[in-house]
Amino acid sequence: MKTKRATSPAETERIGYELGLLLKDEPHVVILLQGDLGAGKTTLAKGIARGVGIKEIVNSPTFVIMKRYVTPDGFRYFYHLDLYRLDSLGGDFDLEEYVEGDGVVVIEWPMNVEELLPRDHLLVKIDVVGDDVRDISLECVGYPCKRAVEAI
């Protein structure tokens, strides 16, 4: 596990950007974001998206649950899921398709569907230390995120 300190939202986004750059060539990686409301999960996700190559504005998918973005070259996908409002599995939303599919998958509030989470993932915990200060802990479980965690 590695911990980085961000002292502003811009630094939180920069850490996400570095992470996205390090993971952008992986065929599939799942990143789980844990933290309280307002901790900076979406800010970090925006940075990851930029690092992967997404040019569009990335904002919280809280009310739609999932947003899919495609890199300009059309070869990479970035899935951003916010499961805060998800209180049960099933229905019309097939979460397994995204958790097991291709691309970079970032999930906010992942513990709401803990039974569906993949064995291999990158767990990112964001702890609020002060007004804009965040401790961002990165823990790789399995492959392919070990190299990224070591390099960041």
pTM of the complete model? 0.90
% of the chain exceeding 90 in pLDDT: 57
Residue 65 sits in a domain of what CATH number? Answer: 3.40.50.300
What's the domain count of the chain?
1
Tell me which residue range forms the domain holding 94. Answer: 2-151
The answer to which of 12-16, 69-73, 90-94, 96-100 has the lowest mean pLDDT is: 90-94
The answer to which of 28-32, 55-59, 62-66 has the lowest mean pLDDT is: 62-66
Sequence letter at residue 95: L
**What value does the mean pLDDT of the chain take?**
88
Q: Is 90 left (phi over 0), alpha (psi -120 to 50) or beta?
A: left
Q: What is the pLDDT of residue 64?
A: 82
> pLDDT tens across 133-144, in order?
999 999 998 766
* Separation in Å, CA 35 to CA 39, 55, 70, 72, 136: 6, 26, 26, 30, 10
> pLDDT tens across 85-101, in order?
776 555 545 677 777 77
